[in-house]
Amino acid sequence: MAQMELKSAASVTTPGSLEQTPPAQELAALAPSGAPQPLPAERLYRVADLSALTFMTTADVEAADGLTGQDRALDAIAFGTRINQPGFNLFVIGPNGMRAQRAVEPVLEEAAAARRRPSDWVYVNNFADPRRPVAIELPAGRAGEFRDGMRALIDDLKTALPAVFESEDYQTRRGAIDQAFQAKQGEAFAALQDKAAARNIVILRTPMGFALAPAARDGKPVPPEEFRAWSEAKRKDVQTTIDALEKDLEHVVRQLPQWEKERRDEVRKLNRDTAKFAIGQFIDGAKSKFADVAKILAHLEAIRADLIENVGMFVVKSEGEEGPQLQTDFEAPFERYTVNVLVGQGGREAAVPIVEELHPTLSNLLGSIEYVSQHGVLVTNFRFIKAGAIHRANGGFLLLDVRSLLTEPYSWAALKRALRQREIRIEDIGRFIGLTSTVSLEPDPIPLDVKVVLFGDRLLYYLLAAYDPDVGEHFKVLADLDDDIDRTPASEAAHVRMIAALARRHDLKPVDRDGTALLIEQAARLADHANKLTLVSESLGDLLAEADFCAGKAGRAVISRTDVETAIAQRIRRSARLRDRAQESILEEVALIDTSGARIGQVNGLSVAELAGFRFGRPTRITCRVRPGSGKVVDIEREVALGGPIHSKGVLILSGFLAGRYALDTPMSLYASLVFEQSYGGVEGDSASSAELYALLSALAELPLRQDLAVTGSVNQEGQVQAIGGANEKIEGFFDICQKRGLTGTQGVLIPRANVQHLMLRRDVIDACSAGKFAIYPVATIDEGVELLIGRAAGERGGDGLYAPQSVNRLVEDRLRAFARIRQSFGQPAIAANEHRP
């Protein structure tokens, strides 16, 4: 009997376990009475309830802009904007596609109203060291006044200085200085000439300088021929006299530069005194307007001193006179006294700045120093210092997208340096990377008092926080925006106001009552939950814009439900080429998917593909083959490196389920192979683990599985079916195939019971379910699913520790015991070696 039993047990592994078996209709009729029942139509879709609201179109509704349903994030933003301690900057994170900047700005504007208006900042010339421009802080709104005041001062000086130097008084005093010099020079030469004449010597002025020569009777120089005719003694006497007079002439000539220096000093003193008198009233007048700003008073005094010292640059020089030379990078002399308004807050009623920088390069963020070409050389000065976004936002709020910030070289590090030092230093990227050796400026740093608000998706924030500890130092306040909100009458009403705000913001047509209800139902569909509503308003805004286009095309002044339905259908159609090709391959039997009959070890699993924001469900055939072995469940996808770690984990859980439920007193002696048929790409996720388990149990029990049912759901080691994502798309993907082949009334999908709350199915699926042509079965355990798929009770252990006879679990356990006996009879090493044979 033992040998016959072994032979019988072994024979069941020989035929293909995918043999055709009785039709699925028979299995469905044989399903135990306690098997899960199809969900009623009202559980497949939750209709919006707007009965508490009285409106015809959204034009009758008060718009609710800003962050709807984001109480936690709002509290974080309110805290972050009001605390004034260093490092408490904001990092706002949320789901991909949520443009939170627009929603956060109203909150920031409210917080800005409570902040003190920031100061104005200007750069002026540093007369002591022009390479280090001076930064001056002014009360808000006064930078323009200072700039205009300096322009007026320069205009006045341009007129006053030349006029005073052309005045009769100045010319008289200047003439007196020149005459005194000329008189002193004349007297010295006259005395020397008299002394030379007394000795019959004449002084000659030649191109080479002064010369001495003997004089004739008429006072003219003796001709050279006559001088050579003189006796030797006479010539020596004359030469001795000339040598003595040359020393006197040299003494006089050496005094000339000193006398000239004295003349220039007197002229310079006269110029200083004249300039001091000319500019004094203008400088004093400018100082009176800014008596409350000490740094401006000091700068005006520096201007006074520089003007007095270099007044020769600004007046017309006399013919042949050389004025003082001043090394300057300015095209016009008076430019050195202008004012570069770096940040001006406008009028005295201007608000605290809220600056969003969309392109945060280093120069756009921290400012830059520009250059101009003069005579073939690049030069710069304080007038070419340009403000960055952080300058404009200083004292207020700076809004940055973290992805854009991180993709710009040096910007992230520079921002952290500025926040740590609490000052703004303009950094030249060209000098960092060695692109230029031009001498640049080193402007005074400006104190930093800004609240930085970074925006990004969650994954980027968590990665950045994990790899850069500075994030925790500088961005201590996290505002995490929720993806969705609980669906209640209050939240539905809030979404109606949000839809009204979207329509008005984008200048769209109002939406009627039915169209608004469909948009709210679509918000639940986007949230993947019938009892929640998405808070990603941009998705609804895009759909609303498309519905507005459809309404305009139809000549309607109001967006109707039909327009929204058309927009949804058109959006799907534009993105559904790959879905349609996948369904076409199934209908043409290129991809093998059965929707009728029953097969052993074969089940229809469901997966979701997502491309560029469009998701669609796709059925996949999963098959299983079993034989005696060493207790190994082989995942073929993992073996060929097509299965991801989560998928592999789901398969390993199957081994734990089998080992923990069946043949507890017998070694696990199974070798099973599982595969996604016709899968040529990567497989990830555990949502097909329950389907794989059904295929495994079917192969072990040699009982067929219904092919008119598709399965989704993960499973744990206790046999509980767990929730998965994309339930709506998976159901609709299998429904589309069944519908195109023809609905039989027995087709349907098994989903985890926990996923019932997520259902927001298409209208055609709901209609088919209502008509009894399609069904959605919620299952909580593998046993419930087995009873539906096989049409036989799963079975429970009785008091004797055995499952009920002919139950699915009993057949599985008996098969595993038979495998153990086969393994024992043939020897474990031989079985293990054969597991890896093709």
Q: What is the DSSP string of 400-447?
A: EEHHHHHTSTTHHHHHHHHHHHTEE----HHHHTTS-------PPPEE
Question: When comparing pLDDT for 334 and 809, which is higher?
Answer: 809
If one counts every other C-beta atom within 10 angstroms of the C-beta of residue 706, the result is 32
Residue 570: predicted pLDDT = 94
pLDDT in tens, 485-499: 999 999 999 999 999
Stretch 281-285: mean pLDDT: 86
Residue 617, domain member (yes or no): yes
End-to-end CA distance of the chain: 32
Are 683 and 804 part of one and the same domain? yes
What per-residue string of b and e applies to 425-459 under the rule 16 or more CB within 10 Å gives b?
bbbbbbeeeeeeeeebbebbebebbbbbbbbbeee
Bridge-based pairing state of the strands 134-138 and 120-124: antiparallel
* pLDDT at residue 117 is higher than 60: yes
Are 569 and 591 part of one and the same domain? no
HSE on the CB side for 209, CA within 13 Å?
Answer: 9
Residue 476: predicted pLDDT = 94
Here the tokens at position 120 are 């104005």
Residue 706, domain member (yes or no): yes
Question: When comparing pLDDT for 432 and 79, which is higher?
Answer: 79
Residue-by-residue DSSP string for 468-501: -THHHHHB-EEEE--SEEE--HHHHHHHHHHHHH
pLDDT classification of 646: cutoffs 50, 70, 90: low
Residue 400, domain member (yes or no): yes
**What is the average pLDDT value for the chain, to the nearest integer?**
83
Q: 27-31, 53-57, 325-329, 695-699: which has the minimum mean pLDDT?
A: 325-329
Question: When comparing pLDDT for 612 and 757, which is higher?
Answer: 757
**Final residue in a domain of this structure, among 534, 552, 575:** 575
**Final residue in a domain of this structure, among 304, 333, 362:** 333
What's the pTM value of the predicted model, to 2 decimals? 0.78
Residue 172: predicted pLDDT = 84
Q: How far apart are CA 635 and CA 530, in angstroms?
A: 35
Percent of the chain with pLDDT over 90: 45
* pLDDT at residue 521 is higher than 50: yes
Enumerate the H helices of 166-221 as residue ranges: 168-198
Here the tokens at position 268 are 């310079």
Stretch 725-740: mean pLDDT: 94
Contact criterion met (CB below 8 Å) for 362 and 429: yes
Question: When comparing pLDDT for 833 and 212, which is higher?
Answer: 212
Residue 95: predicted pLDDT = 81
Pick from 132, 166, 130, 131: which is nearest to 337 by CA?
A: 130
Question: When comparing pLDDT for 630 and 836, which is higher?
Answer: 630
Residue 63, domain member (yes or no): no
Here the tokens at position 230 are 């003189």
* pLDDT at residue 467 is higher than 90: yes
Residue 838: predicted pLDDT = 44
687 is catalytic: yes
Are 17 and 83 part of one and the same domain? no
Residue 184, domain member (yes or no): yes
Stretch 735-759: mean pLDDT: 94
Residue 36, domain member (yes or no): no
* pLDDT at residue 679 is higher than 90: no
Q: How far apart are CA 256 and CA 185, in angstroms?
A: 7
Contact criterion met (CB below 8 Å) for 61 and 55: yes
Are 790 and 716 part of one and the same domain? yes
Number of domains in the chain: 4
3-state per-residue secondary structure call for 291-319: CCCHHHHHHHHHHHHHHHHCHHHHCCCCC
Are 568 and 597 part of one and the same domain? no
Are 111 and 229 part of one and the same domain? no
Residue 28: predicted pLDDT = 54
Q: How far apart are CA 363 and CA 431, in angstroms?
A: 13
Here the tokens at position 160 are 């006053």
730 is catalytic: yes
Stretch 789-797: mean pLDDT: 91
Are 303 and 179 part of one and the same domain? yes
Contact criterion met (CB below 8 Å) for 67 and 481: yes
Which CATH number goes with the domain that contains 707?
A: 3.30.230.10
* pLDDT at residue 800 is higher than 80: yes
Contact criterion met (CB below 8 Å) for 648 and 640: no
* pLDDT at residue 253 is higher than 90: no
Angle between helices 689-701 and 808-826 (to 10 degrees): 70
Are 458 and 380 part of one and the same domain? yes
Residue 676: predicted pLDDT = 84
**Final residue in a domain of this structure, among 575, 593, 610:** 575
Contact criterion met (CB below 8 Å) for 305 and 126: no
Stretch 286-302: mean pLDDT: 91
Which CATH number goes with the domain that contains 454?
A: 3.40.50.300
Residue 256: predicted pLDDT = 72
* pLDDT at residue 2 is higher than 50: no
Residue 98: predicted pLDDT = 63
Here the tokens at position 561 are 């439900």
Residue 774: predicted pLDDT = 96
Residue 1: predicted pLDDT = 34
pLDDT in tens, 304-323: 888 888 877 766 454 344 44
* pLDDT at residue 133 is higher than 70: yes
Residue-by-residue DSSP string for 564-600: HHHHHHHHHHHH-HHHHHHHHHHHTTSS----SSEEE
Q: How far apart are CA 96 and CA 302, in angstroms?
A: 56
pLDDT in tens, 560-596: 999 999 999 999 999 999 999 999 999 999 999 999 9
Percent of the chain with pLDDT over 70: 85
Backbone angles phi, psi at 792, to 5 degrees: -145, 150
Q: 350-354, 398-402, 414-418, 648-652: which has the minimum mean pLDDT?
A: 648-652
Q: How far apart are CA 619 and CA 748, in angstroms?
A: 12
Question: When comparing pLDDT for 98 and 309, which is higher?
Answer: 309
Residue 781: predicted pLDDT = 93
If one counts every other C-beta atom within 10 angstroms of the C-beta of residue 764, the result is 13
Residue 329: predicted pLDDT = 52
Are 515 and 544 part of one and the same domain? yes
Are 494 and 467 part of one and the same domain? no
Tell me, rounded to whole angstroms, the distance of Cα 473 from its chain centroid: 19
Are 649 and 766 part of one and the same domain? yes
Catalytic option among 363, 687, 690, 698: 687
Are 532 and 640 part of one and the same domain? no
- Give the dihedral sign, CA 815/818/823/826: negative
Q: 235-239, 283-287, 402-406, 562-566: which has the minimum mean pLDDT?
A: 235-239
pLDDT in tens, 29-59: 556 766 789 999 999 999 999 988 899 999 9
* pLDDT at residue 471 is higher than 80: yes
Residue 622, domain member (yes or no): yes
Q: 346-360, 426-440, 585-599: which has the minimum mean pLDDT?
A: 426-440
Catalytic option among 532, 730, 773, 807: 730
pLDDT in tens, 193-210: 777 777 677 776 666 666
Residue 757, domain member (yes or no): yes
Name the CA radius of gyration of the chain, rounded: 48
pLDDT classification of 763: cutoffs 50, 70, 90: very high
Q: Which domain holds residue 511?
A: 484-575
Residue 654: predicted pLDDT = 81
* pLDDT at residue 156 is higher than 50: yes
